[in-house]
Structure 1
């Protein structure tokens, strides 16, 4: 799906907006039944949370799957039974306006132990340690959705307080897309629904 197709799909979805607690919350319902929910900081317009829900195989509501944001900040009841140990590495994505950003907490190793690389054929980023204590492979959903290539030059990482911070510069196509979407989002009234009658392309 190209950038224009994804933007069109977002514009054509049924959207509901709610402004609450300093956040602009948008719920998208797509024609195929998938749902996406986003939360923006009302003052800075930074995207804080994005989560997805698909229909279950029996047609019921599936669980929300978090793409951006802290898991516990969105819904502490999610996976309440399966609590992770406080010392296990904790992987979260928290973007800025110009960068995709991931944090992996509880990694008590020096920076020179880490290797973070882009694997273009697999469309993913790989994090590993030379002491073989940690390995993680993840993709950038935003780039996958619009089929943009990954570029090693846009990737960097740093380490602070046992937290590995991985940063990937957003391509200009994504920045433009996000600005367009924000314009659409800001047109929505506080708690009203906005149905767009779209002609199929």
Structure 2
């Protein structure tokens, strides 16, 4: 059963490799179930900057990294790529970048005023739903941290703001998450740092 304690035990049982580089502490976990997890923390503040996952497919090959926290790195298109394969720069782009006290998402390229947006929690599917009254935008998203800790989403913990064509969604972290994050920091600080270049995971 998911719980903060269970997730902490999973991390403790994982194989861990640490590297300090460019002002960041980078931790590579290989979980007991074989999944890979990479987290990057600011070395001074211990703020989480990046979290990404990778799993093997049914053929045993490594899949692509899936970004949970931080911005997806987009490589420039090769000269042979057709223009129609490129993502439009005007499409809404959702990025998660947390603060110490809250989970936070920024959805760029949303020009509509704040009163256009509504946010609701679907307890059955444990997800959040953003929609606009003009029916121009609709998005479902989950908070994996809350799922891993076995915690329910609370509508009252959400706030929204809008500025510079960006919708900012904030979810106040419950006490259980704040306590878990402190324990995780303590755990990863025990991991011996590798020399630069020794880390098992591919660079970001």
What TM-score does the superposition give when structure 1 sets the normalisation length?
0.90
Give the SS at the match of 1:101: strand
Q: SS in structure 2 opposite 1:187?
A: coil
Number of the residue aligned with 2:22? 21
Aligned residue runs from structure 1 range 1-201, under 5 A: 1-72=2-73, 76-77=74-75, 82-191=85-194
Shift of 1:185: 1.1
1 CA distance for matches of 2:65 and 2:50?
Answer: 12
Give structure 2 stretches of 5+ with no counterpart. 199-204
Deviation at 1:121, TM superposition (A): 2.2
Checking the alignment, whether the CA contact within 8 Å between 1:27 and 1:37 is kept in structure 2 is yes
Shift of 1:79: 9.0
Query: Contact 1:118/1:155 (CA < 8 Å) preserved in 2?
Result: no
Shift of 1:118: 1.8
Q: Note closer, same or farther for the CA distance 1:147–1:132 as it changes in structure 2 (3 Å cut).
A: same
CA separation in 2, counterparts of 1:146 and 1:84? 34
Residues 16-64 of structure 1: per-residue CA shift (max 9 Å, x gap) = 0000001100000012210000000111111010000001110011111
Detail structure 1 runs of 4+ shifted over 4 Å in the superposition: 78-82
Tell me how far apart the structure 2 counterparts of residues 35 and 161 of structure 1 sit (CA, whole Å): 36
Mapped to 2, the partners of 1:78 and 1:14 lie a distance apart of 33
Paired with 1:79 and 1:57, the residues of 2 have a C-alpha distance of: 29
